[in-house]
Each structure stands twice: as structure tokens, then as C-alpha cells.
Amino acid sequence: MGKGKTALVTGGNSGISRRNGLKLALAGLAISPPSTFSLATTIRNKNMTTRKVEVERLSLTSSKPFDAVVASIKAAVGQPDMAEFRRTTRSAQSLDELERAVQRGLGPTGLMLFMELDQGDILRRESGLEARKIVRLVIGNPLIMKEMVKPVPDAGSYAPVTILIDERRDGVHLSYDTMASLLAPYGSPEALTVARDLDTKIENLLREAAS
């Protein structure tokens, strides 16, 4: 959008200017003059930024049954009681205590399951039990997230990450948008190093589940 512009047109020595006349006319309708709209548009543009992100999506296809793939992933990550996890992390009195609480919730991969969304349930409500299965797993590690958010606050929009598992005719698909591709536009070497390590963890997890 372009910046708002205001045109000022003055009349002659006698009578009121066209601009003042417009103000008087709009006053009866309780509408602000064009200059007000333009100023508001300019302020909004200054306070809004747009960043294009090119996402790299990792996808694997497995011949294993859907439930077996999901079970394999869940077995490799921690599954703490999230209500208890929130209580212990919030009550931690130091970073060391917080880290110990997080470590207790991690699985062998150094990751934990935050949420499981059975998106296929919606499809089955419409199409019956034969509808394809699809599950979204929200997985991560708060300590890994912390190291990305410190240099790039927007990383908090992407961590914890999503793993999508869906059943198709050619097999079970496991998909993941790499964290490094999401953070690349921000140009932080520190965040990218952590992001690449996280991507490696997730890729290994998916390969193991798919094989």
C-alpha cells in the first residue's frame, strides 16, 4: 500500500477554501475528512511489516500401518502430564530447577509431546469409519525453544513444532516444516545452529518411525 497523501487546495482571497468547504460538508455527516483517513493509513503501514518465508517441507512415506507409525513416534518422545508439567515449571525457583523439571519430561530423543490433535476425527464424523486417518503431533523441547527465541523472538511462533501423520493410498505420510527454513530469513547464525540441530532430531525421529 502506498502512503496516504493529502491535497491542499486554497481558494481565492474571498470565500472559504475548497478544503474548508469539504470539512464543513463532512461535519454534518460525522465523517472525518480525507486527510484523517490518509494519516491513519500511513500510521498503520509504519507499524506493520511483512516478511516472506520460503518453507522447506520434509515428507516421508511409510508402508507401516498408521497406528504403528504414530506409536513409534510417541514411544520416542516424553509424554508428561501437561497439567503437572506446567505446575512444576511455573513453581521452579531457578533456571537449574526449571531445566531439571523439563529434563524429567523428555523422551530418548530429547523431545516431548505437548499435544495430539486427531484431525481425522472430523473427517470420520462426515464420512464414517472408512475416512482416512490424520493426526497432528505438537512436539518440542522448551530448552531448545529458548535458545532460538533469544536471538529471534519470532521463533516462538514455530516452536514447538508440528509433525503431521496422514494415511493416503500410497502409504502413511509423515511431514514436517523444517525450523531452519522458517528462521532463515531472520539471518541469525545462533538461531539457525539450534534450528538445524532440532531439524536433525525430527528427521531422525521420522525416519525411524517410517522404517
Going by pLDDT thresholds of 50, 70 and 90, the confidence category of residue 120 is: confident
Type of residue at 205: L
Q: What is the reported pLDDT for 123?
A: 80
Give me the pLDDT at residue 35, please.
40
Q: b/e string for 142-151 if b means 16 or more Cβ within 10 A? A: bebbbbbbeb
Quick: pLDDT tens for 123-178: 878 777 677 899 999 999 999 999 999 999 999 999 999 999 999 999 999 999 99
Q: Is 15 left (phi over 0), alpha (psi -120 to 50) or beta?
A: left
The structural domains of the chain, with segments of one domain joined by +, span 1-50, 57-210
pLDDT digits (tens, 9 = 90+) for 46-69: 778 888 888 999 999 999 999 999
Q: What per-residue confidence (pLDDT) applies to 7?
A: 37
pLDDT at 112: 97
Upstream peptide bond of 153 is cis (omega within 30 degrees of 0)? no
Concatenated DSSP letters of 109-128: TS-EEEEEEETHHHHHHHH-
Band (121; pLDDT cuts 50, 70, 90): confident
Dist. CA 204–CA 135, nearest whole Å: 19
Q: Across residues 26-39, what is the average pLDDT?
A: 42
pLDDT for residue 42 is more than 70:
no
pLDDT: which is higher, 7 or 157: 157
Residue 106 confidence (pLDDT): 96
Does the structural domain 57-210 have CATH classification 3.30.310.70?
yes
Question: Has residue 19 got a pLDDT over 80?
Answer: no
Which range among 22-26, 120-124, 158-162 shows the weakest confidence by mean pLDDT? 22-26
Q: What is the pLDDT of residues 168-210, one digit of tens each?
A: 999 999 999 999 999 999 999 999 999 999 999 999 999 999 9
Q: What is the pLDDT of residue 5?
A: 40
Whether the pLDDT of residue 33 is over 70: the answer is no
